[in-house]
């Protein structure tokens, strides 16, 4: 099986499988071999399902041969973040405390992907309990960015981002509480979509913060993200935050051109204190859309200036409540950074938490008003570039700034509002990817995906792929 095939998108491989040009058994074996070879370098996987995956691939091959094709992902191998439960198998949350936890049920998103016919190859590394953004795990080791192995991949879904960027998984799912789908997707040069809160049921996903958590796709292309969302979206009564809202045909919605698109730009927050090269690339993508018929309208969301405090007050308070018993009985079993954050969460009072919820409501109302006059908002995904593994700071135009605060600064507001937000590659800065963020109206993922496709069509990455991946040997970049 060629390296070129492993570097294809999930939908492309799914079509080759559907038309019997390749076998899901051969594809799965090749992907597993490739992932095993690279895992010492990248450390994206925490566990492999070789035998189970091969059995699932054989089943997919038999079904397709019998005319029982399930859709664009049937027979496509992929791994999933290790906070999504797989029935009868260990799900660790990259923690010591849950190191041998076994669920009796699949997560809703996992069962839906199984229904779509995917082949599950293993579980992916993450920041402990999904509370962190560098994916430097004290229990499972650091994940390395395939664009530069010295750099962080972003987190908490860093294993997910690194696996897809290095062709160790054709696509995957991440979870996002303050940006943990979009941060690693931006840092690893991927498409990452946080759907509207409630669009994807969270049953069987270990929570970080109940009112902020989301599940969504991380993929090589917008088409892959649309296919993944199509598979996992929908209501589930087992998740009290799940929304009973009709699911559209996201792949069918892709197409057209940007003529008539109205882009909202919030300058005061999303283009303040940002790396100059990131800003240049994001504005270039906006200018390209304008050259193709879109228009730009400036909007104002004053309450955004309170969003960083609000995000931390809500997320830390809810996380501390979830982990309170273990903090009392076995605090030594948490990683140092996570234990500190959960203790910090216990310092917020009920007044703090409720005031934060009131500010959150104001932010959401102002977003809704701003989006009433535009189709989407476009902004940088991250204001800084990925730093070296182990660094607590990032560089902002020559000045060291706190890594956590800055990595979540532009992504956190969409968790507070629950609005759909997606990052797509916008180009390279000093050899590392830059993400362009698209924020849309509630349950209008179709428009967000369509705008992402418009940006993708301009080929901002100019065909460049991560130097650590299936095609790297062929391209002479390893």
Q: Are 97 and 54 in contact, with CB atoms under 8 Å apart?
A: no
Whether 23 is catalytic: no
**Which residue shows structure tokens 């797989």?**
86
Q: Which of 23, 30, 137, 156 is catalytic?
A: 156
Q: Which of 317, 303, 404, 323 minimizes the C-alpha distance to 352?
A: 317
Q: φ and ψ at 348, to 5 degrees? A: -70, 135
Q: φ and ψ at 89, to 5 degrees? A: -130, 155
Whether 160 is catalytic: no
Q: Are 466 and 430 in contact, with CB atoms under 8 Å apart?
A: no
DSSP character for 288? H
Q: Are 381 and 422 in contact, with CB atoms under 8 Å apart?
A: no
Q: Which of 277, 218, 292 minimizes the C-alpha distance to 458?
A: 292
C-alpha of 451 from chain center? 18
- Concatenating the DSSP letter of every residue in 27-57 gives HHHHHHHHHHHHHHHH--EEEE-HHHHHHHH
Question: How far is 439 from 416, CA to CA, in rounded Å?
Answer: 13
Backbone dihedral region for residue 2 (phi beyond 0: left; psi -120 to 50: alpha; all else: beta): beta
Question: How far is 163 from 124, CA to CA, in rounded Å?
Answer: 8
Whether 81 is catalytic: yes
Q: Which of 7, 23, 30, 81 is catalytic?
A: 81
Q: Which of 137, 180, 317, 414 is catalytic?
A: 180
Q: Hey, which residues are catalytic here?
A: 81, 156, 180
């Amino acid at each position: 099986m060629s390296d070129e095939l492993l570097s294809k998108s999930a939908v492309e491989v799914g079509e080759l499988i559907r038309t019997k040009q390749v076998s899901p058994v051969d594809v799965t074996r090749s992907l597993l071999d490739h992932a095993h070879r690279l895992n010492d370098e990248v450390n994206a996987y925490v566990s492999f399902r070789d035998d189970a995956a091969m059995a699932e691939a054989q089943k997919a091959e038999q079904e397709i041969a019998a005319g029982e094709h399930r859709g664009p992902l049937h027979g496509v191998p992929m791994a999933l973040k290790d906070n999504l439960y797989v029935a009868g198998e260990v799900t660790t949350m990259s923690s010591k405390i849950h190191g041998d936890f076994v669920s009796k049920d699949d997560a809703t998103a996992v069962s839906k992907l199984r229904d779509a016919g995917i082949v599950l190859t293993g579980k992916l590394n993450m920041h402990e309990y999904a509370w962190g953004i560098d994916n430097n795990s004290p229990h499972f080791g650091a994940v390395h960015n395939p664009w530069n192995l010295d750099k962080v991949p972003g987190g908490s879904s860093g294993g997910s981002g690194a696996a897809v960027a290095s062709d160790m998984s054709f696509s995957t799912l991440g979870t996002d509480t303050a940006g943990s789908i979009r941060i690693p997707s931006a840092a690893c040069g991927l498409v990452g979509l946080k759907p509207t809160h409630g669009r994807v049921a969270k049953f069987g996903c270990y929570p970080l913060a109940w009112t902020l958590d989301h599940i969504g796709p991380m993929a090589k292309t917008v088409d892959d993200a649309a296919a993944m969302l199509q598979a996992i979206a929908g209501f589930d009564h087992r998740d009290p935050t799940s929304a009973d809202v009709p699911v559209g045909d996201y792949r069918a919605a892709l197409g057209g051109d940007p003529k008539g698109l109205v882009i909202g730009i919030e300058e005061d927050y999303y283009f303040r204190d940002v790396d100059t090269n990131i800003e240049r690339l994001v504005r270039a993508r906006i200018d390209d859309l304008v050259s193709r018929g879109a228009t730009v309208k400036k909007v104002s969301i004053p309450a955004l200036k309170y969003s960083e405090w609000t995000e931390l007050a809500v997320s830390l308070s809810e996380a501390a409540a979830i982990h309170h018993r273990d903090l009392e009985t076995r605090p030594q079993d948490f990683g140092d950074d996570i234990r500190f954050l959960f203790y910090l969460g216990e310092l917020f009072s009920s007044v703090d938490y409720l005031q934060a919820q009131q500010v959150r409501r104001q932010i959401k109302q102002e977003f809704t008003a701003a989006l009433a006059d535009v189709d989407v908002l476009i902004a940088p995904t991250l204001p800084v570039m990925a730093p070296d593994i182990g660094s607590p700071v990032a560089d902002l135009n020559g000045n060291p700034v706190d890594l956590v605060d800055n990595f979540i600064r532009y992504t956190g507001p969409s968790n507070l509002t629950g609005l759909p937000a997606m990052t797509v590659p916008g180009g390279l800065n000093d050899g590392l990817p830059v993400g362009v963020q698209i924020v849309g109206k509630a349950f209008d993922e179709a428009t967000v995906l369509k705008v992402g496709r418009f940006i993708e069509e301009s080929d901002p990455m100019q065909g460049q792929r991560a130097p650590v991946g299936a095609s790297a040997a062929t391209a002479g970049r390893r």
